[in-house]
Amino acid sequence: QRYLGTVAISRTLDRRWLAEQPHGQSGVLFVVHQGRILESSLTGLIGRPFAPRNNRLILEGRRFRLARLHLTPAIGELPRLWFGLDETVLLSRLNRHRETIFLIAGLSAIVVLIFGFLIIRHFTRPLTELSNITREVAAGHLPELRKSRRRDEIAQLANHFADMLQALRRKDAEVKRARDELQKTAITDSLTGLYNRRQLGEVFPKLLAEARRSGHGLWGVLIDLDKFKPINDTHGHICGDVVLEQFAARLREHSRANDYLFRMGGEEFLVLTVARDREGVLALAEKLRATMATLRVTCNDSTIGFTISCGVSRARVELDDPDSLRDMLTRADLALYRAKQSGRNQVQVDDEAPAVADTAS
C-alpha cells in the first residue's frame, strides 16, 4: 500500500464552541492561558486571573470545584481547558430536590387518604396501614411497606405505594450522601483527608474541656516537612502532593486512636492529643520523626526521601479557649523553629511545658 498523506481535523475553541457544549446551568467551561481566562461559557469572567488551589477557585464570590480537561496538541502549546461546578448552586439544587421529594410524598399521602376514605367500609385493615404510613411520610419518615400478593385494587395500590416509598428512599439516600460529602469537604483537607485549620477551632475547645475535667494536659505537636521546597523544585508539584499524601497516610497509621490530625497549610501539620505527661507525647513525636525518616515515596520513576521537624507544647487550661489555642501554637512554633535551627530532623519541646500535667488546674 502507498502512503498518500495525513488528514487532520481541527476545531477552534472559541465562544461559539463553548456555547455548543452541554454543560448544564451550574457548569462553566474555562479556556485558560498563562493564568488568565481567555474564553468562558460565563462571559463575565473573561480576562480574570485563574489560579486554582487544590482544584478549587473563587470567582466573584462563587466557589467552583474544577476538573481539568486534558487536550493533546499536535504541535506547540494549547491553552488549558477546565470545567467548573458551582458548589453553592449544587447544594441549593440538592436542597430543592429534597423538598420536592417530600412534597411529592405529601401529595401522594393526600391522594391515598382520599381514596381510602371512599372505600374504608370494605377495606379497613389495609387502608389503615396505608394511612399510618402516609402519616409517617408526612412527618418526614420513609418506612418500608411489604408488597401484597393479592390481586384486588387495594393491594395493587399498596404495592404501587411500596414502589414509590422505595424510590423515595433511594433518592433520599442520594441526597444524604451528597450532603455528607459537602459537609466533609468543609472540614477536611482535600489532598490529605486530614482535618483542616477551620475544624481546629471546633475541636480544640472540646479537647481543652476534656483536659480540664481529667486533669491531664492537652498537647500539640507541630510538624513541618524539612526542605520540602527543593522536593517541589526538583520533582515537581505533583510529586510534592504525592509526598504529602504519603506522609498523611503514615501519620494516620502511626498516631493513636484519640489523636486529632490537622493540615495547617502547605507542609505544616498538627497533632492534638490529651496525655498525662510530657514523656508520652515526646515518645509519640519521636516515633513519628523516626518513621518518616525511613519513608520512601516513589513518583515518576524517582524515589523521594524526607525528614520532619517537630515542636511540642502544652495548652494552658487556665486561659480562654481562643487565647489558649493561640498561645499553644505560638510556643509550638518557637520549639519547631529551634528544631530547624539545630539541624532539622529532630523534636524540640517548649521550655514552659511541664513534665507532668498540673492536676490542680
- Report residue 148 as a C-alpha cell: 401484597
Active-site annotation holder among 77, 87, 253, 267: 267
**SS3 state of residue 104:** helix
For residue 345, the number of C-alpha atoms closer than 13 Å in the C-beta half-sphere is 10
Q: Is the dihedral of CA 28, 33, 38, 39 positive or negative?
A: negative
267 is an active site residue = yes
Kind of pairing between the strands at 62-69 and 56-59: antiparallel
| Cβ neighbours around 239 below 10 Å, total | 18
Distances (CA, A) of 353 to 86, 218, 256, 328, 332: 46, 11, 21, 10, 10
**SS3 state of residue 54:** coil
Angle among Cα 57, 63, 65 to the nearest 5 degrees reads 65
CA distance linking residue 275 with residue 272, whole number of Å: 10
CA distance linking residue 275 with residue 259, whole number of Å: 10
The distance in angstroms from the start CA to the end CA of the chain is 90
CA distance linking residue 211 with residue 203, whole number of Å: 13
- Report residue 175 as a C-alpha cell: 441526597
CA distance linking residue 315 with residue 332, whole number of Å: 10
CA distance linking residue 301 with residue 348, whole number of Å: 35
Which of 254-260's residues contact partners 24+ apart within 8 Å by CB, and which partners? 254/287, 254/288, 254/291, 255/284, 255/288, 256/284, 259/284, 260/195, 260/203, 260/207
Number of H helices, E strands in the chain: 9, 12
Q: Which residue type sits at 99?
A: E
Catalytic residues: 267
